[in-house]
Amino acid sequence: MKTLIVILLVLVTPPIWAGPSAANLDYSFSRPLLIDSRYVNGFRFDIIRPRDRFEILEDSQWMAEIYADNFLIVRHRGIGVATEVSEGEFSFKIADELIGKFGQDSVHYMPIYEWGGGQVTIYHVYSTEPQFLKILELQSRSDRYGVIAPDQLQFYEPSDIEGLSKCPPSAWPYDTVVYTLYPNKAERHVVKTAEVPECAKP
């Protein structure tokens, strides 16, 4: 009887299809995009994204997000020095908070927030002097952060606690971590270790 049920489920379950591959999309029409820019120490940072990622594009049956038009482009004197592509979306919100808190002239580092899709958050930090360099790329399940100083950012990273495999992801604790930024690196310092949740205790 169990075998019969499994066979019936396979027969009546519709196939899951996410859409066409990039090679099979129609590129013969214009797609409306937005460009958001910031300028730091001679470097222009451009975030490019769809006008509305859920919009059904004209002359197409697909939403704008399927075209994956989510880019971060960095230029210096008109020459491209870095490009990032996201399955989610980039944002200047950390950089704007940094500039708003300490002023444009105090900013020598450019933090970029990226929602990578689902519960994935990625933080990118670039140093702009004396040379352009990506000094941090941090992936986390937490979208919380803090701006402490022009050269210090606070993030929340999943704690490395034994027994977490017994806990649901919603119960996973986070360590409070401060990164101090330097022209060629980012130093990590755990300022508060998370407490062990009840579900992880023996």
pLDDT at 72 over 80: yes
pLDDT tens across 156-189, in order?
998 888 888 888 888 888 999 999 999 999 999 9
Structure token digits, residue 42: 């001679």
Task: Report the alpha-carbon angle 192-135-188, nearest 5.
Answer: 15
pLDDT at 2 over 50: no
The sign one gets for the Cα dihedral 41, 43, 49, 51 is positive
Q: What is the mean pLDDT of the chain?
A: 86
pLDDT at 65 over 70: yes
The pTM of the full predicted model, rounded to 2 decimals, is 0.82
**Dist CA 55 CA 34 (whole Å):** 13
Average pLDDT score over residue span 17-21: 63
